[in-house]
Each structure stands twice: as C-alpha cells, then as structure tokens.
Amino acid sequence: MSTHFPIAALAQHPTPFYYYDMELLRRTLALVKEETARYGFEEHYAVKANANPVILKTIAAAGFGADCVSGGEIEAAMEAGFPASRIVYAGVGKSDWEIRLALKCGIACFNVESEAEMQVISEIAGELHTTAPVALRVNPNVDAHTHAKITTGLSENKFGINLSMLEHALQTARQLPGIRLKGLHFHIGSQITELEVFRTLAVKVNALTADLRSRGYAFETLNFGGGLGIDYQHPDTGCIPDFKGYFALFNELIDRTDHPGIHFELGRAIVAQCGSLISKVLYVKEGEVKKFAILDAGMTDLLRPAMYDAFHAIENISSTRPRETYDVVGPVCESSDVFGKDRQVAGAARGDLMAIRSAGAYGEAMASTYNCRPMPKAVFSDSI
C-alpha cells in the first residue's frame, strides 16, 4: 500500500480528480526561488502547464512571474495575483484582441515569433498610444532530443524566427514606432532530460549575442524558455528535478556582459510531480490475452499517454494484493484511451483507487469534455 496518499480522505471524493500535494509544490517553488536568487535570474512560470486557480495563486504568492500563451492565460495570471510587470506573452498566433489586452494590462514583454506579428503589435500599440516591449523568439536550431511533438527549436518547427532571418527582424524591430526591442527569447522543447542539450543552447546563444554585439545590438534580457524534464519513471525518488544543476549550468556558461536580465519559463518541472490523477477501478475485465483494469478516468482527463505515448507510473493505492499485469485503460470510445500497457500493479478489484502519477503538468490543463464527460475536479492536500 502506498504511504504518501491520504487514502481514507481521498476515498471521500467522487472520482476521477486531480490530487495536488501542495507541500511538495511549495518545496519545489522554494528551491527554484533559492537557485534563481543565487544567480540573480528571473523565473516566469509557464501557465500552460497547469492553470488551476489554486495552483496559480500558490505560484504567484511564491514570487514568480508568469509566461502566458493566450489572452485567457493573461487574465488567469492577473486574477491569481501575478503582477502585469512580471508577465511575458508568447505564441505564434496572437489575435488582435489578445495583443490589445496585453498592451492594456502593461505586460513586461511580448515574445514575438514573426515579423508579420511584430507589424501588427506595432500598429495596435500605436492605436493605444503606447509602445510594446518585445523580445524576438529565435529558433536556434538545437535538437532537444525529446518527443517529436514537443520539440520546438529546429528550423522545421513553426516556432521562432530562423537564425538566417534574425538580423532583418532586428532591423524591423528598430524601425517600427510601436516596438521597444528588449531582448531575445529561446525555447527549444519540453521534457528535456539531458542537461547537455541546454549546454549546447547556451554555447550557441553566446556565439549569437557576441556576433550581434559586434553589429551594434545589445539586449536587456535573454530568456531561455522552459523545457527541463522530470523523472516520470520514479515520481517519488525523483520528485524534485535537478534545478541546481540546471541553473548552475546557465550561470557558468552565459556571458552576461550586456544583458543583465536572464529569464526562464519552466512549467513541467515545477508542477508535474505534485499532481496525480486519482481514479476508481470500475471493472477488471479478462480478455483472451490480456487483463484490463478499466478506470473511471480516461484520456479526456489525462491526454498525454494517448497523444504522446507518454509514460506515467500507475499505482493501485488501495490494494496490498500481489502484483498482476494489466492494461490500464479508460472508458472513452477510442482505442488510444490507454494509460499503460502491461503494467505490474497491485491486484485490482472494483472500487480500488488508482493513482496516475506525475500528472500535475499538462494533465488538468489539457482535459476536455469529449464524449460529454465532465471535466475532472481538483483536490488539494491542504484542504482535506
């Protein structure tokens, strides 16, 4: 039986729901604050990873800024108490109303992904008699060695401005009346587990900024995006990612001569391990070649396994029976509605609670109502 879940209290709540270990979240936040303060770095939490209002409030209260990718996220961040002056806004397709909203709120920076977008931001800023602080998102062509659907820093991806087109974009930024060029932004992908990848990025960025400096460009801020991966295989022993190593690496490598502001926007590394999807076993079904544990949670509650073949550890937290092998599946009418194949889980019976681990990032945030299913609820360790 698992010791870290308050099983009797959890059993009082209708399933499925996300359970958040707020003590772990606060410990993680404190460590990130400690490490960023050590080097004078600034952290903007990537709201897309988890925009639950309680989670957002906790992160805002810990003194983080916010990295948003839509008008809705900017509103959610403001609501949760992130100051506009600590909000940055990225995305390849910003709508006019979103740009207007961001300008009216007075956010810290637009991370701009194309010249076409920069023209529109400049025009709207003009209409509002203001200027837009801007960082150009550069696509540095660094292979993140991660899942193809979450890599963003290669020339073939839709994100960022390619290196060969950067100088032209920088000139445009200087000329446009509504734009105030602040910095450069880089984000190469997500769930990056090899720190070497960030080393490659840092070395490339140094070469790039040195080259641009020789041509008269200096930047107030360099933003290295997010992407630090987590240990999905070992959610307990690996519950806090290697923030020390990650920030130390940038501190060691980045030339900060002209750009005092070094920014990060981690999402997954901050919230993934504090969240589990808790679900009830509806049926144990014997197939000809497989045994299925059918849960009341499905891909509508946690899409990652269906969408990316992502691995999440699964535990039967109610059972002390010997382990058996199951395909752990959901009720949704799609063959990809599978949380894990051939998983060794403590013997399951109807009514047992299963915990799908490391689900705090891109879990609740990506839930849907497909099949007219209700959205999953959230339960917090502080309030049970």
Which positions lie near ligand LLP, rule CB under 6 A?
46, 49, 67, 90, 150, 187, 190-191, 225-228, 265-269, 304, 308, 361-362
Measured from the CB atom, the residue of 150 and 282 that comes closer to ligand LLP is 150
- Which CB contacts under 8 angstroms, 24+ apart, belong to 113-120? 113/137, 113/159, 113/160, 113/161, 114/161, 114/169, 115/161, 115/165, 115/168, 115/169, 115/172, 117/92, 118/169, 118/172, 118/173, 118/176, 118/179, 119/172, 119/176, 120/94, 120/96
Provide, rounded to whole angstroms, the least separation between the CB of residue 150 and ligand LLP. 5
Measured from the CB atom, the residue of 90 and 281 that comes closer to ligand LLP is 90
Q: Residue 180 pairs with which residues in a beta bridge?
A: 133
Provide, rounded to whole angstroms, the least separation between the CB of residue 118 and ligand LLP. 17
Measured from the CB atom, the residue of 67 and 73 that comes closer to ligand LLP is 67
3-class DSSP state of 100: helix
Measured from the CB atom, the residue of 132 and 192 that comes closer to ligand LLP is 192
Measured from the CB atom, the residue of 73 and 352 that comes closer to ligand LLP is 73
The residue to which tokens 């899409």 are assigned = 303
Provide, rounded to whole angstroms, the least separation between the CB of residue 46 and ligand LLP. 4
In whole angstroms, what is the distance from residue 315 CA to residue 319 CA?
A: 9
Measured from the CB atom, the residue of 16 and 227 that comes closer to ligand LLP is 227
In whole angstroms, what is the distance from residue 360 CA to residue 277 CA?
A: 8
Provide, rounded to whole angstroms, the least separation between the CB of residue 254 and ligand LLP. 17
Provide, rounded to whole angstroms, the least separation between the CB of residue 207 and ligand LLP. 22
CB atoms within 10 A of CB 269: 26
Measured from the CB atom, the residue of 304 and 373 that comes closer to ligand LLP is 304
Task: Find all residues with CB under 8 Å of 143, minimum gap 6, and list them.
Answer: 151, 153, 154, 197
Task: State the number of CA atoms in the 13 A half-sphere of 273 facing the CB.
Answer: 26
In whole angstroms, what is the distance from residue 62 CA to residue 222 CA?
A: 22
Provide, rounded to whole angstroms, the least separation between the CB of residue 48 and ligand LLP. 6
Provide, rounded to whole angstroms, the least separation between the CB of residue 228 and ligand LLP. 6
Residue nearest to ligand LLP (CB): 226
